[in-house]
Structure 1
């Protein structure tokens, strides 16, 4: 939790402020540390140390002074307090969410756009890369820069213009002192509100977590995939013999924001039958590990390469399940942005599961937009290429591309006819083709199939199928191509899939490309220089175990 108040003139004044914020009685002992920009903490106890911290802060022209507080006394100035929890460090992938407390408000940072205005300066809040602070109690929304200027208590409607003089007090507590942070919540509720997710515990450099999992708890059986981030392994949990897919991510290659988003989406995906869910997370000195549902039927790219094209009935089944997955994500404000044949997995019965949430965007509501340029070139929607703001419509465009590939056997922007021209073989030409080239649709397709492809591949997102706010999925369901689909049965996975993967091989490995499964099952040795340069605080709080998975394994 953080709060703001006027510069204390004395150490005793700072202590009084601390006691007021956490509702501590006069007998409660606590330690206050000043945290400098590199993350190192220094005790603030006598008046001289407080004045030194304030002086250095002013010399550096810092707008705020960051302070940690723990509800106990350290044995030695260089030793952390027994109750201190390092997971509050900023930048941690999946770390606790801070509450910024000002005059009864409990502001929480939100990283998404809102069609609202700041209650202090009246400018619009949100936008790409801009944080919005929203009170978890009264739902007041303000800019990050304005939250310290809120002088009216939580629940009042008008906001005076007189700003407060901010001194940022970032605190981290556990035990009895934490129960007093949100004044109207119990200790457990407060912990859940600050945490925002069910963490399994904290980690040291070994990657083993309290009551949790580590690499030593799994048998590594085979490589089943690879990307720029690392490998995907088929593993077996020793204590239960259950099979999982383990995604390894090298810390030196990782974007912590993307890791945080991927983990959060994976946690929500566990409740959807058409999305790959999360079993657990843990880490070592050099890597992050996601333990995921193992989907043993292989990906749709592998099967399409063997069959060349799919019948319309098959494409209808798969695209209906993909649409249900999209609807689940969109209802929760998640933009997927990564649909392609490689990310469409088949389970042992033949049902679809989407995977790989590393470029998802969270926090979007119907009508909200974002503008990050990301995705696979062949599947980029025209509005992304044009550099325009875009919303959920880009997912429906990618579904159109995938449906075309399933029924026609190649990309709608296939460049084979461009061989011999270096420019036309470039990414630039591909993007230009997506923007301008007419899409060829074979005559062998039915009228309904032609219609749905044209609707999904409409370059105008306002006219594209699925793009009407609040009614997009309804429009998809009512399109003639999907008229024969029983959506309720489809959602309950009661419709028999048109194709069942071959499961005769051990663990379903025959459904994965041999270029992966023939690789030796090992992790590359750690580079000691890179490990030494890794800031472990960036990944504190990453560990997680899905409670449902624990229940199923008992």
Structure 2
């Protein structure tokens, strides 16, 4: 659990921003991570008091707990003196780090230099967990929530609704606020539940007047008494996307694109809460207890040729042929689309249409962040529909136990398969594939999406020899490249991770262009630019940490067999400075 805390003396406009007088500490203790802003001239005694308060430890002399901080090399150093605290703060300021990482353990090691009981060196791997966040502001313990029922913000009294987590709810007093209004609420949490006022929409007539006859004042917007999704759900089906629903970009813009996402193991919520969250994806998981009547989303376009009056699509319209892929959270089937209404039609001469059907078990969708991840993947599938170089969505539906994405089936296999057979490609072929990948990435970037998982396995070839990118599970959406918005999640395939991600810096679309450089190197050289890792006799040199060190520090040697043009392109994409990287300027 991650908590963002600030003392009452620091509850100013700088509460979420670093300045020269405060230090941002990220304190890890057991399954909890707390962010707190403290003065830069902090004493060790005062720091220990803060740690005891946050971690619920007892203040003793000498301390019965152990405090460690991470230096530039991510080495854990014990902090037991004022000099060590000053050194940590000095390096934090000098390097311009986002936060100073502190790890607290409830006991002390048996001997100096040994690990503390329960200490695992792997916990110092940044991005290895996804932390569930609480925000401690004015005594409130806020949690980001999605609201499937009508609710109103305590500050502005506007409605809380939409996809994603639209606002905050205090776990103690149950006050509800927009994310944009959370700093405006000056009521200190008193634990006593605050009765949130129900939302009363203003009913207007055609002349812009209230139903009672009074006219609207300037600045007010007309609002109907109908819920935004009322026209979308009728008879257990969902109407065309985009009719009364914000686009994927606007939905994600409602969430803070700078939200720090960490990975962790989290507790599974109750089935009702998870069902409400899944319903926000555009479905109702409570329908059809036998799993035969599933809800449907039609994304439009030419792919399936359906119209708004076409029957609902469900699992009964497909014949599952075989399993073509497995993952840790999903299974992919080859499926033949055979609509029920046309099976017995003698005039139906349409050839069978094959699709890939991605099946996700709802039991793995544990919390709001997992739902956001699935929603993001679906949004990107929708954006990619009918793009020549991106795998698009045919339809999606669900049963009480599973979610189904029906997507294009690309018959030519992936680039990994072809590279294993041919070892390397001619420069002309690599240039052709790289050009189409560039067009696909540029399309995603223009729509605010970072792909973040470009690799040989995710580049498919169709029957005509053109590429299609697939697998949007790592995508991040809702970013505006014109405003240089960034994110910080540590994710992707190790061999393709960009240096700025390994340095734990905020990044934008630059990571995709680095991955394209690695992929082009593999296509033309027949090997990875970091092949030295994995081939050493010493097992200590074949670790993931060693790979990351090579990516960060060692220069990339371009094979002499490549032409000058190919060398220049690779050097441009594989520039370790994202500000000078090809595609980022």
Q: What's the TM-score, normalizing by structure 2?
A: 0.51
Q: Which has the higher contact order (CA 8 A, sep 6+)?
A: 1
Contact preservation (8 Å) 1:200, 1:212: no
Using the TM superposition, name which of 370-379 and 414-423 deviates more: 414-423
- 1:279 is matched with 394
Q: 2:562 aligns with which of 431, 445, 448?
A: 445
Distance 1:220 1:190, change over 3 A: closer
Match of 2:363 in 1: 252
CA RMSD in angstroms comes to 4.1
Q: Distance in 2 between matches of 1:194 and 1:266?
A: 19
In the TM superposition, residue 215 of structure 1 has moved relative to its aligned partner by 2.3
1:170 and 1:224 mapped to 2: Cα distance? Answer: 50
The 3-state SS of whatever aligns with 1:195 is coil
* Secondary structure, counterpart of 2:360 in structure 1: strand
SS of 2:357's equivalent?
A: strand
How far residue 193 of structure 1 moved from its aligned partner, in angstroms, is 8.0
- 2:473 corresponds to 1:387: no
Mapping for residues 128-527 of structure 1, pairs under 5 Å: 143-146=180-183, 167-169=195-197, 184=222, 190-191=228-229, 195-196=245-246, 202-203=284-285, 204=287, 205=289, 206=291, 208-209=294-295, 211-239=311-339, 241-254=352-365, 255-366=370-481, 367-415=484-532, 418-468=535-585
1:484-543 Cα deviation digits (max 9, x unpaired): xxxxxxxxxxxxxxxxxxxxxxxxxxxxxxxxxxxxxxxxxxxxxxxxxxxxxxxxxxxx
Distance in 2, matches of 1:444 and 1:148, equals 65
Quick check: 1:98–1:194 contact (8 Å CA) kept in 2? no
Deviations 1:55-98 (A, max 9, x none): xxxxxx99799xxxxxxxxxxxxxxxxxxxxxxx9659xx8998
Give a deviation string over 1:151-170, Cα, whole Å, max 9, x none: xxxxxxxxxxxxxx975357
The alignment partner of 1:248 has SS state of: strand
Structure 2's unaligned 5+ residue stretches are: 1-137, 166-175, 188-192, 212-219, 230-241, 249-280, 297-310, 340-349
State whether residues 148 and 166 of structure 1, in contact with CA within 8 Å, keep that contact through their aligned partners in structure 2: no
Q: Would you tell me which structure has more helix in proportion to its own residues? A: 1
The answer on whether the counterparts of 1:111 and 1:363 sit within 8 Å (CA) in structure 2 is no
Q: Judging changes above 3 Å, is the alpha-carbon distance between structure 1 residues 110 and 233 closer, same or farther for their aligned structure 2 residues?
A: closer
Contact 1:325 1:354 in 2 (8 A): yes
**Residues 209-230 of structure 1: per-residue CA shift (max 9 Å, x gap):** 2753332321111222222112
The separation in 1 between residues aligned to 2:152 and 2:247, in whole angstroms, is 14
SS at match of 1:143: coil
Q: Distance in 2 between matches of 1:64 and 1:437?
A: 45
Q: Distance in 1 between matches of 2:568 and 2:490?
A: 29
Q: Which stretch shows the higher mean deviation, 403-412 or 238-247?
A: 238-247
In 1, Cα distance between equivalents of 2:404 and 2:163: 26
| Structure 1, unpaired ranges of 5+ | 1-60, 66-88, 113-130, 134-141, 151-164, 469-554
Summarize the Cα distance change of 1:244–1:90 in structure 2 as closer, same or farther, 3 Å threshold. Answer: farther
CA contact (8 A) 2:558 2:567 kept: yes
- Secondary structure of the equivalent of 2:428? helix
Residues 425/201 of structure 1: CA separation in 2 closer, same or farther (3 Å cut)? closer
| Closer/same/farther in 2, CA of residues 62 and 195 from structure 1, 3 Å limit | farther
Q: CA deviation at 1:421?
A: 1.2
What CA distance in whole angstroms lies between the structure 2 residues aligned with 1:63 and 1:344?
Answer: 47
